[in-house]
Amino acid sequence: MSEPVRVLLVDDHDLLRAGLSAILGVAGFDVVGEAATGPEAVDAARRLRPNVVLMDIEMPGGDGLTATRRILTDCPDTHILILTTFDLDEYVFQALRAGASGFLLKTTPPARLVEAVRACAAGEMSLSPTVIRRLVDTFVRRAPAPADGRPPVVLRGLTPRELEVLRTLARGLSNLEIGAELYMAEPTVKAHVTRILAKLGLRDRVQAVVFAHESGLVYHDGRPD
Protein backbone atom coordinates (compact mmCIF):
# COMPACT_ATOMS: atom_id res chain seq x y z
CA MET A 1 0.00 0.00 0.00
CA SER A 2 1.16 3.55 -0.66
CA GLU A 3 1.98 5.75 2.30
CA PRO A 4 -0.75 8.13 3.49
CA VAL A 5 -0.62 11.77 2.44
CA ARG A 6 1.25 13.82 5.05
CA VAL A 7 -0.60 17.01 5.99
CA LEU A 8 0.44 20.08 7.99
CA LEU A 9 -2.39 22.20 9.45
CA VAL A 10 -1.86 25.95 9.77
CA ASP A 11 -4.51 28.08 11.50
CA ASP A 12 -4.55 30.33 14.57
CA HIS A 13 -7.72 28.71 15.97
CA ASP A 14 -7.07 25.60 18.06
CA LEU A 15 -10.62 24.32 17.68
CA LEU A 16 -10.52 24.51 13.88
CA ARG A 17 -7.20 22.67 13.74
CA ALA A 18 -8.63 19.96 16.00
CA GLY A 19 -11.67 19.60 13.75
CA LEU A 20 -9.57 19.44 10.59
CA SER A 21 -7.27 16.90 12.17
CA ALA A 22 -10.23 14.68 13.07
CA ILE A 23 -11.76 14.92 9.58
CA LEU A 24 -8.50 14.17 7.81
CA GLY A 25 -7.52 11.42 10.22
CA VAL A 26 -10.76 9.54 9.61
CA ALA A 27 -10.17 9.90 5.86
CA GLY A 28 -6.78 8.21 6.15
CA PHE A 29 -4.44 11.20 6.02
CA ASP A 30 -1.42 11.51 8.29
CA VAL A 31 -1.61 14.87 10.08
CA VAL A 32 2.09 15.29 10.87
CA GLY A 33 1.95 18.68 12.58
CA GLU A 34 0.17 21.92 13.35
CA ALA A 35 1.11 25.61 13.41
CA ALA A 36 -0.68 28.76 14.54
CA THR A 37 1.35 31.44 12.71
CA GLY A 38 3.11 31.89 9.38
CA PRO A 39 6.66 31.61 10.81
CA GLU A 40 5.68 28.49 12.76
CA ALA A 41 4.31 27.01 9.52
CA VAL A 42 7.58 27.64 7.69
CA ASP A 43 9.62 26.01 10.46
CA ALA A 44 7.25 23.03 10.65
CA ALA A 45 7.27 22.52 6.88
CA ARG A 46 11.06 22.54 6.81
CA ARG A 47 11.22 19.92 9.56
CA LEU A 48 8.30 17.69 8.61
CA ARG A 49 8.30 17.92 4.80
CA PRO A 50 4.53 17.41 4.42
CA ASN A 51 2.92 16.57 1.08
CA VAL A 52 0.19 19.16 1.65
CA VAL A 53 -0.11 22.24 3.86
CA LEU A 54 -3.63 23.45 4.71
CA MET A 55 -2.90 27.17 5.12
CA ASP A 56 -4.96 29.97 6.62
CA ILE A 57 -4.32 33.49 5.28
CA GLU A 58 -4.91 35.98 8.07
CA MET A 59 -3.06 35.03 11.24
CA PRO A 60 -1.41 37.13 13.94
CA GLY A 61 2.36 36.95 13.86
CA GLY A 62 2.72 36.28 10.13
CA ASP A 63 0.32 35.86 7.23
CA GLY A 64 -0.24 32.70 5.25
CA LEU A 65 0.66 34.19 1.87
CA THR A 66 4.18 35.08 2.99
CA ALA A 67 4.51 31.66 4.60
CA THR A 68 3.35 30.04 1.35
CA ARG A 69 6.11 31.75 -0.63
CA ARG A 70 8.78 30.77 1.87
CA ILE A 71 7.63 27.16 2.16
CA LEU A 72 7.55 26.64 -1.60
CA THR A 73 11.05 28.11 -1.89
CA ASP A 74 12.43 25.77 0.77
CA CYS A 75 10.19 22.75 0.13
CA PRO A 76 9.40 22.67 -3.61
CA ASP A 77 7.76 19.23 -3.41
CA THR A 78 5.15 20.46 -0.92
CA HIS A 79 1.71 21.55 -2.15
CA ILE A 80 -0.22 24.29 -0.39
CA LEU A 81 -4.00 24.46 -0.19
CA ILE A 82 -5.36 27.77 1.10
CA LEU A 83 -8.28 27.38 3.51
CA THR A 84 -9.74 30.73 4.51
CA THR A 85 -12.82 32.54 5.75
CA PHE A 86 -12.41 35.29 3.17
CA ASP A 87 -13.81 34.85 -0.34
CA LEU A 88 -11.92 37.83 -1.79
CA ASP A 89 -10.64 37.92 -5.37
CA GLU A 90 -7.47 39.65 -4.22
CA TYR A 91 -6.67 36.81 -1.82
CA VAL A 92 -7.31 34.19 -4.52
CA PHE A 93 -4.99 35.96 -6.92
CA GLN A 94 -2.23 36.49 -4.37
CA ALA A 95 -2.45 32.87 -3.22
CA LEU A 96 -2.03 31.52 -6.75
CA ARG A 97 0.76 34.00 -7.44
CA ALA A 98 2.48 32.78 -4.30
CA GLY A 99 2.37 29.23 -5.70
CA ALA A 100 -0.61 27.73 -3.88
CA SER A 101 -2.25 24.74 -5.56
CA GLY A 102 -5.78 25.57 -4.47
CA PHE A 103 -8.12 27.88 -2.61
CA LEU A 104 -11.09 26.80 -0.49
CA LEU A 105 -13.36 28.47 2.05
CA LYS A 106 -13.72 27.21 5.61
CA THR A 107 -17.39 26.59 4.86
CA THR A 108 -16.37 23.83 2.43
CA PRO A 109 -18.12 20.52 3.28
CA PRO A 110 -15.81 17.88 4.82
CA ALA A 111 -16.15 15.51 1.85
CA ARG A 112 -15.11 18.27 -0.57
CA LEU A 113 -12.18 19.17 1.66
CA VAL A 114 -10.97 15.58 1.71
CA GLU A 115 -11.28 15.40 -2.06
CA ALA A 116 -9.37 18.67 -2.43
CA VAL A 117 -6.47 17.54 -0.23
CA ARG A 118 -6.16 14.31 -2.23
CA ALA A 119 -6.24 16.24 -5.49
CA CYS A 120 -3.69 18.72 -4.22
CA ALA A 121 -1.31 15.94 -3.16
CA ALA A 122 -1.62 14.43 -6.65
CA GLY A 123 -0.75 17.72 -8.34
CA GLU A 124 -4.31 18.58 -9.33
CA MET A 125 -5.79 22.01 -8.64
CA SER A 126 -8.50 22.57 -6.08
CA LEU A 127 -10.15 25.62 -7.54
CA SER A 128 -13.55 25.74 -9.18
CA PRO A 129 -13.92 26.96 -12.79
CA THR A 130 -16.17 29.75 -11.48
CA VAL A 131 -13.42 31.07 -9.21
CA ILE A 132 -10.90 30.81 -12.04
CA ARG A 133 -13.08 32.85 -14.38
CA ARG A 134 -13.70 35.50 -11.73
CA LEU A 135 -10.02 35.64 -10.91
CA VAL A 136 -8.93 36.03 -14.49
CA ASP A 137 -11.64 38.53 -15.42
CA THR A 138 -10.72 40.72 -12.46
CA PHE A 139 -6.96 40.57 -12.26
CA VAL A 140 -5.23 39.07 -15.28
CA ARG A 141 -4.48 41.52 -18.07
CA ARG A 142 -6.28 40.47 -21.25
CA ALA A 143 -3.80 40.22 -24.04
CA PRO A 144 -5.01 41.14 -27.53
CA ALA A 145 -5.52 38.36 -30.02
CA PRO A 146 -2.42 37.79 -32.19
CA ALA A 147 -2.82 39.53 -35.53
CA ASP A 148 -1.89 36.40 -37.47
CA GLY A 149 -4.32 34.24 -35.51
CA ARG A 150 -1.52 32.09 -34.15
CA PRO A 151 -0.61 31.58 -30.48
CA PRO A 152 1.93 33.98 -28.94
CA VAL A 153 5.59 33.11 -29.49
CA VAL A 154 5.95 31.73 -25.96
CA LEU A 155 3.32 29.06 -26.78
CA ARG A 156 4.58 28.04 -30.19
CA GLY A 157 6.72 25.27 -28.74
CA LEU A 158 3.52 23.38 -27.92
CA THR A 159 1.91 20.99 -30.37
CA PRO A 160 -1.65 21.69 -31.57
CA ARG A 161 -2.93 18.95 -29.27
CA GLU A 162 -1.05 20.40 -26.31
CA LEU A 163 -2.61 23.79 -27.03
CA GLU A 164 -6.05 22.17 -26.97
CA VAL A 165 -5.28 20.56 -23.63
CA LEU A 166 -3.96 23.85 -22.22
CA ARG A 167 -7.13 25.70 -23.31
CA THR A 168 -9.35 23.19 -21.51
CA LEU A 169 -7.01 23.14 -18.53
CA ALA A 170 -7.36 26.92 -18.31
CA ARG A 171 -11.09 26.46 -17.73
CA GLY A 172 -10.38 24.49 -14.57
CA LEU A 173 -11.23 21.05 -15.94
CA SER A 174 -9.80 17.89 -14.39
CA ASN A 175 -7.90 15.29 -16.41
CA LEU A 176 -11.05 13.16 -16.60
CA GLU A 177 -13.14 16.11 -17.84
CA ILE A 178 -10.49 17.11 -20.38
CA GLY A 179 -10.37 13.56 -21.68
CA ALA A 180 -14.15 13.45 -22.10
CA GLU A 181 -14.17 16.75 -23.99
CA LEU A 182 -11.19 16.00 -26.24
CA TYR A 183 -11.88 12.25 -26.64
CA MET A 184 -8.65 11.21 -24.95
CA ALA A 185 -7.85 8.63 -22.29
CA GLU A 186 -7.14 10.10 -18.86
CA PRO A 187 -3.50 8.82 -18.78
CA THR A 188 -2.93 10.48 -22.16
CA VAL A 189 -4.26 13.77 -20.80
CA LYS A 190 -1.96 13.45 -17.80
CA ALA A 191 1.02 12.89 -20.09
CA HIS A 192 0.11 15.96 -22.15
CA VAL A 193 -0.21 18.09 -19.01
CA THR A 194 3.19 16.91 -17.77
CA ARG A 195 4.81 17.86 -21.09
CA ILE A 196 3.06 21.25 -21.14
CA LEU A 197 4.33 22.10 -17.66
CA ALA A 198 7.86 21.01 -18.58
CA LYS A 199 7.92 22.97 -21.84
CA LEU A 200 6.60 26.15 -20.22
CA GLY A 201 8.67 25.83 -17.05
CA LEU A 202 5.60 25.86 -14.80
CA ARG A 203 5.28 24.31 -11.35
CA ASP A 204 1.73 22.98 -11.53
CA ARG A 205 -1.71 23.18 -13.12
CA VAL A 206 -2.68 26.36 -11.31
CA GLN A 207 0.30 28.21 -12.76
CA ALA A 208 -0.68 26.82 -16.16
CA VAL A 209 -4.18 28.29 -15.79
CA VAL A 210 -2.87 31.77 -15.02
CA PHE A 211 -0.20 31.50 -17.72
CA ALA A 212 -2.75 30.51 -20.37
CA HIS A 213 -4.85 33.58 -19.65
CA GLU A 214 -1.93 35.98 -19.35
CA SER A 215 -0.47 34.79 -22.66
CA GLY A 216 -3.73 35.47 -24.49
CA LEU A 217 -4.48 31.84 -25.29
CA VAL A 218 -7.92 32.18 -23.72
CA TYR A 219 -10.08 35.23 -24.27
CA HIS A 220 -13.02 36.64 -22.34
CA ASP A 221 -14.41 39.22 -24.72
CA GLY A 222 -16.83 37.03 -26.61
CA ARG A 223 -14.34 35.36 -28.92
CA PRO A 224 -14.09 31.58 -28.78
CA ASP A 225 -11.32 29.99 -26.69
Please give the average per-residue pLDDT across 141-150, as a whole number. Answer: 52
Question: pTM score, two decimals?
Answer: 0.70
d(C-alpha 222, C-alpha 225), whole Å = 9
12: domain range? 6-127
Whether residue 220 is predicted with pLDDT greater than 80 in this model: the reply is no
Whether residue 207 is predicted with pLDDT greater than 90 in this model: the reply is no
pLDDT of residue 157: 87
117 and 13 together in one domain: yes
pLDDT of residue 195: 94
The answer to whether position 106 is within a domain reads yes
Choosing from 103, 127, 151, the residue where a domain stops is: 127
Please give the average per-residue pLDDT across 69-86, as a whole number. Answer: 91
**CATH number of the domain encompassing residue 65:** 3.40.50.2300
d(C-alpha 93, C-alpha 54), whole Å = 17
pLDDT of residue 223: 39
Average pLDDT, the chain: 83
The answer to whether position 221 is within a domain reads no
pLDDT tens digits, one per residue of 110-143 = 998 998 899 889 877 776 555 666 665 655 545 4
Instruction: Look at 130 and 101; give whichever has higher pLDDT.
Output: 101
How far CA 24 is from CA of 8, 61, 103, 114, in Å, comes to 11, 26, 17, 7
pLDDT tens digits, one per residue of 42-57 = 999 999 999 999 999 9
